[in-house]
């Protein structure tokens, strides 16, 4: 055993501690320990375990260079030491971001290294004879330095990781947006290229959806969580895989992939915060389907925002497809309403009551009894109102039933008191 003896105080004691620290550092091969740390990171930190050999080699290099820096710093016990990561470590976060290794895994790797360094120093110190107080003080000094080093370097590398992650996300988002723009504009793109650009598999069946908040309903708490809500919608609608594309601060476009046959699926029950709304397209296959279902979601959103459509938080295109078609030309649609309904299109309470009675009458398959039950009035009241409707129209309602039903749907949009 090597011996370090110091019964002196003051400067002599500090020198004895410095000698002991140097003896420990000399007893440990930093290259060997660094390689062991690299192996331990891949063994103990799950996110590293399945990665490529290039990352393993780089991680080992980072560990070795870091151990060399730590040894250099701990030897300069009486001097100020800059606690900065070595150049190899500075470039490490970018590699982790590109490979999809999360920040918590990087920080866990440093904790693994810290633990092995502490253990190596304790083992080496036990092999060197020294005054008990000198050994204890030296190990305390080293332990404090190790902690300070890991703490300072972790802060710096975390900042580097976050900046690189933001750059990577912006770059990936830009590629995704360009690819979406190309697909939605009708450009022909090879499926493999589309999948790579979107980072979303374009084969199979998709359901498009749009999650949004109205500008008149700004709410910072919900706006910050809009993408989280969209992610929940994606999970609820699809079978696990989904793609989200924020469009400004208040809108998120989404697509969810389906794996089960459409015929076996039930409509999902979607729950969203009060100020959030969702429009959902129909299921459609392939790249063309990806575009189609988004267009349907956009159409459902347009209808949901029309006057008189109530405050339904979730709107499925299938439920509003006819109204979508009927309202594509607003000027022609409103003209159709007023021409078809005539005086019934007058925007007052009496005509609104007659329109409602006629609509329910159609929905109840021309049954005065069921219509009366729905409206909460007497059967004779329904009969009287229907006579009045036919008098105003100038013909029996069955003569132009389809046109009247369409006009009544549009009346909710284009007549102020329609509902």
pLDDT digits (tens, 9 = 90+) for 69-115: 999 988 875 455 678 898 889 989 988 988 888 999 999 999 999 99
- Please check the confidence at residue 1 and state whether its pLDDT lies above 50: no
Q: Per mean pLDDT, which range of 176-180, 185-189, 216-220, 348-352 is the poorest?
A: 216-220
Which of 127, 88, 89 is closest to 110 using CA atoms?
Answer: 89
Residue pair 362/404 in contact by the 8 Å Cβ criterion:
yes
Cα separation, 349 vs 338, in Å, equals 16
- Please check the confidence at residue 2 and state whether its pLDDT lies above 50: no
Q: Per mean pLDDT, which range of 71-75, 215-219, 277-281 is the poorest?
A: 215-219
Strand order in 205-212's β-sheet?
242-247, 251-258, 205-212, 277-285, 314-316
Q: What are phi and psi of 279, to 5 degrees?
A: -120, 135
More confident site: 417 or 140: 140
Q: What is the pLDDT of residue 224?
A: 65
Q: Per mean pLDDT, which range of 128-137, 176-185, 217-226, 381-390 is the poorest?
A: 217-226
pLDDT digits (tens, 9 = 90+) for 362-400: 989 899 999 999 999 999 999 999 999 999 999 998 989
Which of 119, 144, 112 is closest to 24 using CA atoms?
Answer: 119
Q: Which are the contacts of 194, defined by CB distance < 8 A and separation ≥ 6?
A: 179, 183, 202, 287
Q: What is the pLDDT of residue 132?
A: 75
Between the two ends of the chain, the Cα-to-Cα distance in Å is 95
Determine the CATH number of domain 330-414.
1.10.10.2840
More confident site: 53 or 48: 48
Q: What is the pLDDT of residue 310?
A: 67
Helices (H), 76-102: 87-90, 92-98
Domain ranges of the chain: 2-168, 200-326, 330-414
Average pLDDT, rounded, for the chain: 86
List beta partners, residue 207: 256, 283
pLDDT digits (tens, 9 = 90+) for 166-185: 887 778 888 888 899 899 98
Instruction: Enter the DSSP assignment of 52.
Output: -
For residue 280, name the pLDDT band (cuts at 50, 70, 90).
very high
Q: Which are the contacts of 47, defined by CB distance < 8 A and separation ≥ 6?
A: 101, 102, 105
Residue pair 308/418 in contact by the 8 Å Cβ criterion:
yes
Mean pLDDT of the 191-195 span: 90
Q: What is the pLDDT of residue 109?
A: 95
pLDDT digits (tens, 9 = 90+) for 307-336: 877 678 899 999 989 888 888 888 888 898
Mean pLDDT of the 131-139 span: 86
Helices (H), 305-396: 317-326, 330-341, 349-363, 368-375, 379-393
Q: Which are the contacts of 393, defined by CB distance < 8 A and separation ≥ 6?
A: 341, 342, 344, 404
Percent of all residues in the chain with a pLDDT value above 70, rounded to a whole number: 89
Strands 128-130 and 2-4: parallel
Other beta carbons within 10 Å of 412 = 19
List beta partners, residue 233: none
For residue 216, name the pLDDT band (cuts at 50, 70, 90).
low
pLDDT digits (tens, 9 = 90+) for 3-36: 444 444 556 788 888 888 999 999 999 999 999 9
Q: What is the 3-state secondary structure (H, E, C) of 36-47?
A: HHHHHHHHHCHH
Q: What is the pLDDT of residue 264?
A: 54
Q: What is the pLDDT of residue 37?
A: 96
Instruction: Enter the DSSP assignment of 29.
Output: -
Contacts 24+ apart (CB under 8 A), 290-297: 290/183, 290/202, 290/206, 290/208, 290/255, 291/183, 291/184, 291/186, 293/206, 293/207, 293/208, 293/255, 294/184, 294/208, 294/253, 294/255, 295/208, 296/208, 296/321, 297/208, 297/209, 297/210, 297/253
Q: Per mean pLDDT, which range of 24-28, 71-75, 278-282, 283-287 is the poorest?
A: 71-75
Structure tokens belonging to residue 365: 């398959």
- Please check the confidence at residue 211 and state whether its pLDDT lies above 60: yes
**Angle at Cα 311 formed by Cα 314 and Cα 371, nearest 5°?**
100
Q: What is the pLDDT of residue 418?
A: 40
Residue pair 43/109 in contact by the 8 Å Cβ criterion:
no
Please report the DSSP string for 246-305 in residue order.
EETTTEEEEEEEE-S-GGGPPPP-----TT-EEEEEEEEEHHHHHHHHHHHHHHHHHHHT
Q: What are phi and psi of 239, to 5 degrees?
A: -115, 30
Q: Is the dihedral of CA 403, 406, 412, 418 positive or negative?
A: positive
List beta partners, residue 302: none
Q: Per mean pLDDT, which range of 31-35, 151-155, 219-223, 377-381 is the poorest?
A: 219-223
Q: Which are the contacts of 406, defined by CB distance < 8 A and separation ≥ 6?
A: 322, 326, 336, 340
CATH topology for 200-326?
Alpha-Beta Plaits (3.30.70)
Mean pLDDT of the 275-296 span: 93
Instruction: Enter the DSSP assignment of 416.
Output: T
Q: What is the pLDDT of residue 76?
A: 74
List beta partners, residue 247: 251
pLDDT digits (tens, 9 = 90+) for 55-70: 888 899 999 999 999 9
């Amino acid at each position: 055993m090597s011996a370090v003896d110091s019964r002196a105080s003051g400067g002599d004691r500090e020198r004895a501690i410095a000698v002991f620290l140097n003896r420990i550092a000399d007893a440990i091969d930093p290259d060997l320990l660094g390689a062991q740390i690299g192996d331990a990171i891949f063994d103990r930190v799950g996110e590293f375990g399945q990665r490529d050999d290039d990352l393993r080699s780089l991680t080992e290099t980072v560990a070795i260079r870091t151990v060399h820096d730590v040894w250099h710093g701990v030897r300069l016990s009486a001097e100020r030491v800059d606690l900065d990561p070595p150049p190899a470590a500075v470039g490490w976060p970018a590699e982790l971001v590109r490979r999809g290794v999360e920040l918590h895994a990087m920080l866990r790797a440093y904790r693994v290294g810290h633990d092995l360094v502490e253990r190596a120093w304790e083992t080496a110190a036990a092999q060197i004879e020294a005054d008990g107080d000198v050994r204890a003080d030296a190990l305390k000094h080293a332990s404090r330095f190790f902690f300070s080093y890991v703490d300072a370097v972790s802060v710096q590398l975390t900042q580097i990781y976050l900046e690189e992650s933001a750059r990577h996300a912006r770059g990936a988002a830009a590629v995704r947006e360009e690819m979406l723009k190309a697909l939605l504009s009708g450009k022909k793109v090879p499926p493999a290229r589309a999948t790579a650009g979107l980072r979303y598999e374009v084969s199979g069946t998709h359901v498009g959806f749009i999650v949004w908040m109205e500008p008149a309903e700004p709410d910072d708490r919900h706006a910050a969580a809009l993408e989280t809500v969209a992610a929940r919608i994606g999970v609820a609608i699809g079978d696990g895989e989904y793609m989200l594309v924020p469009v400004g601060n208040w809108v998120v476009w989404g697509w969810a992939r389906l794996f089960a046959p459409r015929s076996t699926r039930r409509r999902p029950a979607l729950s969203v915060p009060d100020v959030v709304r969702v429009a959902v397209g129909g299921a459609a296959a392939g790249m063309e389907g990806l575009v189609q279902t988004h267009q349907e979601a956009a159409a459902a959103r347009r209808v949901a925002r029309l006057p008189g459509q109530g405050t339904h938080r979730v709107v499925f295109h299938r439920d509003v497809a006819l109204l979508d078609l009927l309202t594509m030309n607003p000027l022609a649609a409103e003209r159709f309403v007023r021409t078809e309904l005539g005086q019934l299109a007058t925007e007052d309470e009496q005509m609104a009551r007659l329109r409602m009675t006629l609509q329910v009458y159609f929905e109840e398959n021309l049954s005065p009894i069921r219509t009366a039950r729905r409206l909460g009035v007497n059967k004779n009241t329904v009969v009287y109102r229907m006579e009045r409707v036919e008098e105003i129209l100038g013909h029996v309602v069955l003569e132009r039933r389809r046109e009247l039903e369409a006009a009544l749907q549009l009346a909710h949009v284009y007549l102020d008191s329609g509902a």
